[in-house]
Amino acid sequence: MLAVLAPGQGAQKPGMLSDWLELPGAESFFRWAGAIAGADLLELGTTGDAEAIKDTAVTQPLVVAMSLFIARELGGLPGPVAHTPQAGRDVVITGHSVGELTAAALAGVLSVEAAIALTAVRGRAMAAACAQTPTGMSAVLGGDPDEVAASLAEHGLVAANMNGGGQVVAAGPLDGLAALKAAPPAKARIMPLSVAGAFHTEYMASARAELGGLVGGLRPADPSRLLLSNADGAAVTSGAEALARLVSQVTSPVRFDACLATMRELGVTAAIELPPAGALAGLAKRQWKGADVEILAVSSPADLDRARELIAAERSRAEAEHLPDWRVVVSPARGTVSPADVAEGTRLPAGTPLGWIRSRRDDVNVSAGYDGVLAEWLVQNGDMVDAGDPIARLYPEVAE
């Protein structure tokens, strides 16, 4: 199973779009996405400095638009897939924080346009909430989990993100964050984050209310790919539930550690982090240390070929696993069957003649419609058959 990881705010870097603009359609895509978001994403992603792209109102749509464009470039990821027992179950998708909107689009819950528009509203609403009270966030790296939790409570902080790999993000008042940095828990390192406020806490209540007032106008589809939620790492089964969780997540902790645990339980064999990549791939490597999982952070256009190879390999593997044990060749017409002189156990490339059906009007040829091995003849020369009657049984052959 392939995991696709969509990064959130904090993954942005100055000039992060520059290397990608050589790809066909890139410049027009970001101009179009900027028109939807009400911001010049192209300029922000190429010439905007660290302070400019720290602005929550524009950073969130910039990150989501970038991830969606590269997913489209990789092919086969954005949008819904047909609902069958196997369709969409070879890929599991999750995002971190605002990356959940990217994930919702990739799982077919939202259109690309709706995801970008909703992200822009979310970003502006959260920026407004940040302006109400001075707050911030700091990563706590390492330390005993119980001691970290006790230290956060002592300073009036909460764990806004539990990211896995020994990383917790503390959020709350600036004086509490300063006190935490001055006296960190044993064996823990504190890293202040370049964000505008205490995301995923009750400080974002006004943003949650604004977002909740809008989603009722959307008509989400049910996920057609396996979609994990930051709330608890569980799979989301309906579009309505996905939207409800996207709203509630504004004031609730991000449990990316739970998402990583679910992906391991599902048997993920490869993971791709979409740009701006690096942070989530690093968390996965630490959380899955020792596991046989290839983890690729798509950091530049040079990584696209390997990402496509991983997607193609997983698709081929999934298709092979879903092949039936055997297939039946049926008669195309009513008449007398004359089987070809082909021994059971013979490998048959697609198109191999298997005989003919002699009817009153004419002879109708029969051939193998797919590669396989002739397992068993189900008729003998001269037997009468009707259209649709089985003639032979084939074992499908897996392409290498």
CATH code of the domain covering residue 368: 2.40.50.100
**pLDDT of 119-160, one tens digit each?**
999 999 999 999 999 999 999 999 999 999 999 999 999 999
pLDDT at 201 over 60: yes
Instruction: Indicate whether 203 and 86 sit together in one domain.
Output: yes
Clarify whether residues 278 and 353 are in a common domain: no
Angle at 100 between CA 264 and CA 203, to 5 degrees: 115
Structure tokens at 160: 């806004």
188 lies in some domain: no
Do 100 and 38 belong to one domain? yes
Whether residues 114 and 233 share a domain: the answer is: yes
Annotated catalytic residue 338: no
End-of-domain residue from the set 321, 346, 374: 321
Pull the structure tokens for residue 146.
Answer: 């119980």
Integer Cα distance of 252 and 246 in angstroms: 10
- Kindly list the strands in the beta sheet with 270-273, ordered across the sheet, starting from the edge strand earlier in the chain: 226-227, 91-95, 2-6, 270-273, 294-297
pTM for the complete prediction? Answer: 0.77
| Selected catalytic residue, list 67, 97, 138, 331 | 97
- The 10s digit of each residue's pLDDT in 89-128 is 578 999 999 999 999 999 999 999 999 999 999 999 999 9
Instruction: Extract the tokens encoding 296.
Output: 């690729």
Sheet architecture: strand order including 353-358: 363-367, 353-358, 335-339, 384-385
User: Do 262 and 358 reside in the same domain of the chain?
Assistant: no
* Separation of alpha carbons 237 and 72, rounded Å: 23
Q: Which of 304, 321, 338 is the last residue of a domain?
A: 321
| Residue 119: closest CA among 135, 132, 103 | 103
More confident residue, 331 or 203: 203
Q: How far apart are CA 136 and CA 196, in angstroms?
A: 6
Q: Answer yes or no: is 359 within a domain.
A: yes
Most distant CA pair in the chain, distance: 95
- Domain with 283, as residue range(s), is 2-130+199-321
Which of these ranges, 4-8, 217-221, 297-301, has the smallest mean pLDDT?
Answer: 217-221
Determine the 3-state secondary structure of 28 from DSSP: helix
> 303 φ, ψ to 5°?
-85, -10
96 is catalytic: no
Element housing 296 (H / E):
strand 294-297
Residue 313's pLDDT band, with cuts at 50, 70 and 90, is confident
In three-state form (DSSP H/G/I as H, E/B as E, the rest C), the secondary structure along 269-293 is CEEEECCCCCHHHHHHHHHCCCCCC
pLDDT surpassing 70 at residue 1? yes
List the catalytic residue out of 151, 155, 200, 331: 200
Return the beta strands (E) in 70-225 as ranges: 91-95, 135-142, 158-164, 167-173, 188-192
